[in-house]
Structures are given as structure tokens and as C-alpha cells.
Structure 1
Amino acid sequence: MKRCLAVGVFDLFHYGHLRLFKQIKQKEKNSKLIVAIQKDAFVFKYKPQIKLFYNENQRKEILNSIKEIDELIFYTEVNQIVKEVEFDIFCVGEDQIHKGFEEAILYCKSKNKKILRIKRTPHISSSDIREYLNHQKYNSNEIWG
């Protein structure tokens, strides 16, 4: 059985996250999906201005209810977790392009691990939700969606 690894913060869980997991399971039938949740301290390290709505344990509880996910773990940095976990396929969203992901992908390629790029779900992202919620503070007549 192939083991797939996907990583992320997964704060403000939304439809795009769910589609990510469903796409992985659809493309890699009969695989085991391991999802790594970034620990709070490291989210703040890279995005000190961010306000997390859920702490890492709450995010884990939310993700634990998703049937496509077979195992949940925590991680600190993406270029390290790929060296610590046993997996065959690294599943990467097309928007996951920062230096840590570049290093992780290079490492995976050097170890002959498959890279599975997943397209984003159009018109939805955690950044969009945050922007909308911030806008709502000033204009309460709009409805999301």
C-alpha cells in the first residue's frame, strides 16, 4: 500500500482542504493518507502577524473527523518532516511553493519519491476567508459565498 504525505496548517478548515484529501485518495487509490499539521509555534515563526482561530490540537480534532485521512501527525518544518516520516508520495498543493517546499521536493526527488501536485479549488483559500472576515468587521451586509 502506497503511503501519501500531505502537510499544512489547516486552520479555518474549508471545502478546498476537503477536496485536497479527496483528490489524493482518488488519484492514489488504496493508499494510506498521512496528514501532518504544522505546530503553532512554527506557524507563528513564519507568519508572526497571523491570528490562528484554532490551536494545533483543535485542528487535529477537526481533521480527525475526515474519513479520507488515515493518520495525523504534527510537524515543524516541511523540509524536515519529509526526512522523518516513511512515505512514497509527497502531495503538494500548487500554491505550496515557498523555500521549505522547494527543499522538501528536492529531497523527495533525490530519494525517488513521487511528487503529486494537486490543483487548488477555485475561489476558496484560508487567506480569502481571513480577508473576508476582516472586511466583515467594517461591512456587515455581505454574505460569504
Structure 2
Amino acid sequence: MEELEHTCPHPRTTLTKPAIFARESSCDCRAPHEKLTIAQARRGTPVDRPVRVYADGIFDLFHSGHARALMQAKNLFPNTYLIVGVCSDELTHKFKGFTVMTEFERYEALRHCRYVDEVLRDAPWTLTPEFLEKHKIDFVAHDDIPYSSAGSEDVYKHIKEAGQDVVPTQRTEGISTSDLITRIVRDYDVYARRNLQRGYTAKELNVSYINEKKYRLQNQVDRMKEKVRTVEEKSKHFVYRVEEKSADLIQKWEEKSREFIGNFLELFGPDGTWKQVFQERSGRMLSYALSPRGSPCNSPPPRSPPCAPRPPPCPPARWNNARPSPPNSPKGASASISSMSEGDEDEK
């Protein structure tokens, strides 16, 4: 008998391409599918094929909670091939409710998640042993919280009772599609006003005529508030700059005033330069007063009779720092200059 080898797809080694879409049967391997136990899967056996794990859901408004659940499913075993089933719009609207994203948008969101190896479109709402056998699924990954829908307390209850291993994952608290929709509904007015401002029509937003006018008026009021806030910020900045400049001017003025006062004290202080100059000039004036210029050597001689000859005049006395008296006529000035030059030559 011919021995058949497993040709199951192995996990992707690159993240440059999105995950593939499953065909009618996601595994073309003709070898018989032997179901693994959790112990075997955790040991990494068998070595010739990966452990096929299935996770399904709606995945509307794909968020971090979805991604973390798929990450846990991918990391359940050392060699995991993760198949993700996404329910169609028809089933979802029938059993759960209206979705924000279309089924094609949800398919594409799953294809670009790094933990997904294969996307199964139009997944069934309730899993059956025949479906699991058809796609050769070893384990189903889902959180422990019972998923009630379509009159059933737990959609996965019959799978657990049939002996199919459902490996639990942990749900991320604080984030879910219902939480996101609740935020949108709670802040509906804010989002409606924002989209009107961005160019969406009231018809596209399903907004009435009155609400449209109200939102547009509120947008105008917000713009005015923003302008006033901008003006206030600019005014504060201007005042801050003026205060900064004033502080610089005051500092410079103080420096200049200190310099001026220092120079004034240096010139007019008790030991300043002006006092020394005044003392020197006072001493010089006192010396001038004690020894006037051109003083005679003795008293004038008594007058002789007109017929008697006059005695020769006495030469002028030389005093320190004394200058000859100015002559009364130009001839006298020249005579005095010549006599001073002759005197200097005699001294030399």
C-alpha cells in the first residue's frame, strides 16, 4: 500500500503578505487526519504537520482585544497553524444584530493580522463535528465565558460535550466592540458635528434639518471660542515678552546707574580726583599770592634833583615760577624777549 505523506501548509515565515483565503477545503492533504491530544500538541508532535487551531467570531470594528485573543490562539502550541472563521453579514444580522463593518471589510481586517495564517469566509454560526472534520481542525480556541446566542446558553456547549477540545483564551478587559459602539452613541453629537464640519451632508449622517442647523451654529460658536482663545494666548505671549524686555531694561539701567554713581564718587568723593585737583590749584594760587609776579628787589630810591644823573636801575629779581611782567609797548616786548634770551645763554 502506498504511504501518503502530509502536505499540510506550514506556518508562514514572513509577514510581508496577508493571510490567504480558505478554499472549499482549507487542507488539501490526502493523508488521514489523526486528532491530537493536548499533551501531544504541547510536545510539538507530530513533526510532519502543524497543529491546526480554529477560532471564529464576528470581528466587527477589529480592535486590540480581537488581536490579543488571536495571539493567544497562535501561541497555544509550538507549531500552530491558525485558521480564523468570520461569519457573514446575513448570519450576523440574523443572530446578533447589525454590524458597523461589512463582511468584506471584516475579512480584510483579519487577513492583515500578523497571527492569522488563513481566513475562512462565511463561517457557520454553530460548529459541527462534520465541519471540524472537513477542515481537519484539531482544537477550537475561545474564551471560557459562555457565548449565548440564538436561544442557546453557550454556542460551544455541544462541541465540548462531543469531546472536541476547546482551548480557552483570556478576554481583554475594558475593550470590546460593544464598548466602542457605546462610546460612539454616547458622543453622537460630537461626531456628527465633526463630520458635518469635514464636509459630510446631513443626509449621509441621517441628521434632521433642525439638528443640522444646531450643529452648524455650535461649530461657529466653537470657532469663535477658538479665535478668542488664540487671541488670549497671543496677548499673554506679548505681555510676557514686554515683561521680559522691561526686566532686561531695568537690569541694564541698574548697571548703568551703578557705573554712573561709581564714576561720580571716584571724581567727587572724599578721596576723589576732583579734590586732588582742587588742592593742587589751591596750593598754586597760594604760592602766586605769596610771591606776586615782577616784585621789585627793594624800595624805590629817593628822587634826586633834576640836574643830577639817575643811577642805573637794579636788575629784576628771579623768583621761582615767576614770569616777567608784560611790557607796555611793542619795543619793550622785543627788548624783554632779547634780554631773556641773553640771560638764558649766560646761564648755559
Q: TM-score range by the shorter chain?
A: 0.7 to 0.9
* 1:93 aligned residue (143, 147, 157): 143
For 2:96 and 2:157, the matched residues in 1 are separated by: 22
State how 1:1-145 maps to structure 2 within 5 Å: 1-48=50-97, 50=98, 52-74=99-121, 75-80=123-128, 83-85=130-132, 86-98=136-148, 102-110=154-162, 112-138=163-189
For 1:129 and 1:70, the matched residues in 2 are separated by: 27
Unpaired runs of 5+ residues, structure 2, are 1-49, 192-348
For 2:190 and 2:105, the matched residues in 1 are separated by: 29
**C-alpha distance 95-127 of structure 1, shift in aligned 2 (>3 A):** farther
For 1:12 and 1:95, the matched residues in 2 are separated by: 21
Aligned to 1:36, what secondary structure does the other structure show?
strand
Checking the alignment, whether the CA contact within 8 Å between 2:139 and 2:166 is kept in structure 1 is yes
Unpaired runs of 5+ residues, structure 1, are 141-145
Checking the alignment, whether the CA contact within 8 Å between 2:60 and 2:106 is kept in structure 1 is yes
For 1:133 and 1:2, the matched residues in 2 are separated by: 40
State the Cα distance separating 1:113 from its structure 2 match.
2.6
The residue type paired with residue 144 of structure 2 is E
Aligned to 2:172, what secondary structure does the other structure show?
coil
For 2:66 and 2:112, the matched residues in 1 are separated by: 13
Higher relative contact order (CA 8 A, sep 6+): 1
State the Cα distance separating 1:58 from its structure 2 match.
1.3
Checking the alignment, whether the CA contact within 8 Å between 2:74 and 2:115 is kept in structure 1 is yes
**C-alpha distance 32-59 of structure 1, shift in aligned 2 (>3 A):** same
Larger Rg: 2
The residue type paired with residue 140 of structure 2 is F
Q: Give the TM-score of the pair, scaled to structure 1.
A: 0.82
**C-alpha distance 76-27 of structure 1, shift in aligned 2 (>3 A):** closer
User: Which residue is equivalent to 1:143?
Assistant: none
The residue type paired with residue 76 of structure 1 is P
- Structure number having the greater helix percentage: 2
Aligned to 1:78, what secondary structure does the other structure show?
coil
**C-alpha distance 127-96 of structure 1, shift in aligned 2 (>3 A):** farther
The residue type paired with residue 8 of structure 1 is G
**C-alpha distance 136-83 of structure 1, shift in aligned 2 (>3 A):** farther
Q: Give the TM-score of the pair, scaled to structure 2.
A: 0.36
For 1:125 and 1:42, the matched residues in 2 are separated by: 20
Q: Which moved more, 1:95-104 or 1:82-91?
A: 95-104
**C-alpha distance 79-10 of structure 1, shift in aligned 2 (>3 A):** same
For 1:89 and 1:16, the matched residues in 2 are separated by: 21
User: Deviation per CA, 1:92-115, whole angstroms, max 9, x where unpaired?
Assistant: 1234521558353423542x4321
Checking the alignment, whether the CA contact within 8 Å between 1:90 and 1:108 is kept in structure 2 is no
State the Cα distance separating 1:139 from its structure 2 match.
5.1
